């Protein structure tokens, strides 16, 4: 790939009174130019919006930790094989740490006989690769979950909700299904992971979410 602004493409755009930079700026994709050391030399507006202003920093700082080793190996492969290109899905990090999936197309750019760097074009697959939103639980299921987190037994849940034991069992079954889990322990762990539980009823041995208390209640859902 020739340096931007030269060759047939540069002449064609010049004849139209358009610069390659302006074309890159108008793309609904991120464009990042790296030098041969992997430092970012230029970003278009979409790139800055997704990962922040990173000029002068290593491109590896943009990558989610689990993608850095492969990204570095791919970068080096392009440098030593300038006639090749790369297409891969990566996860980059926004300035606030949010994960954002991107389909990246990369190729080396050459100057005379040497490789000058790499140009990467990233098509946003989404703007936030965080966890899926938590399931929408009804107020009754939220109450049931809070009581489970507190280590309440099925009978205690029935008493506090003012329902029969069988109805309490049904609430627990529905809750497990909504959370896509199979046990009380999994339900509590999943709720904490999704940050669904906002409070724990006071006055029980499970007030602090003791997993052994919850575990002792297994088998009471049916």
pLDDT digits (tens, 9 = 90+) for 93-105: 988 888 888 899 9
* Same-fold call for 7-124 versus 139-216: no
In this prediction, residue 210 carries a pLDDT of 42
Rounded mean pLDDT of 148-153? Answer: 89
Helix/strand/coil for 76: helix
In this prediction, residue 215 carries a pLDDT of 47
Cα Rg for the chain, rounded, in angstroms?
27
- CATH fourth-level superfamily of 7-124: PAS domain (3.30.450.20)
Q: Which helix (H) or strand (E) holds 190?
A: helix 184-194
In this prediction, residue 61 carries a pLDDT of 93
pLDDT band at 212 (very low <50, low <70, confident <90, very high): very low
This prediction has a pTM of: 0.53
Answer whether 117's CB lies under 8 Å from 82's CB.
no
Distance CA 76, CA 64 (A): 18
Measured at the CA of 54, the angle between CA 49 and CA 57, to 5 degrees, comes to 160
Question: Where do the domains of the chain lie?
Answer: 7-124, 139-216
On average, the pLDDT of the chain sits at 81
Identify the architecture of domain 139-216 in CATH: Orthogonal Bundle (1.10)
Tens digit of each residue's pLDDT (9 = 90 or more) over 23-74: 888 888 899 999 999 999 999 988 998 899 999 999 999 999 988 998 999 9
17 against 193, higher pLDDT: 17
In this prediction, residue 220 carries a pLDDT of 57
């Amino acid at each position: 790939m020739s340096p931007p602004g030269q060759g047939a493409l540069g002449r064609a755009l010049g004849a139209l009174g358009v610069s390659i930079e302006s074309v890159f700026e108008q793309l609904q994709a991120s464009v990042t130019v790296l030098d041969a050391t992997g430092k970012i030399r230029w970003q278009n507006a979409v790139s800055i919006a997704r990962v922040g202003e990173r000029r002068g920093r290593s491109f590896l700082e943009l990558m989610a930790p689990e993608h850095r080793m492969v990204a570095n190996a791919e970068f080096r492969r392009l440098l030593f094989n300038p006639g090749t290109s790369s297409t891969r899905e990566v996860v980059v990090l926004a300035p606030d740490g949010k994960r954002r999936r991107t389909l990246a197309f990369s190729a080396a750019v050459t100057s005379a006989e040497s490789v000058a760097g790499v140009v990467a074009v990233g098509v946003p697959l989404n703007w936030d690769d965080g966890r899926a939103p938590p399931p929408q639980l009804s107020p009754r299921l939220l109450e049931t979950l809070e009581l489970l987190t507190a280590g309440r037994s099925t009978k205690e849940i029935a008493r506090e909700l003012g329902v029969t034991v069988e109805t309490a069992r049904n609430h627990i079954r529905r809750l497990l299904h909504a959370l896509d889990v199979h046990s009380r322990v999994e339900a509590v762990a999943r709720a904490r992971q999704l940050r669904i539980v906002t409070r724990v009823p006071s006055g029980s041995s499970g007030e602090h979410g003791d997993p052994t208390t919850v575990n002792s209640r297994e088998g009471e859902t049916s």
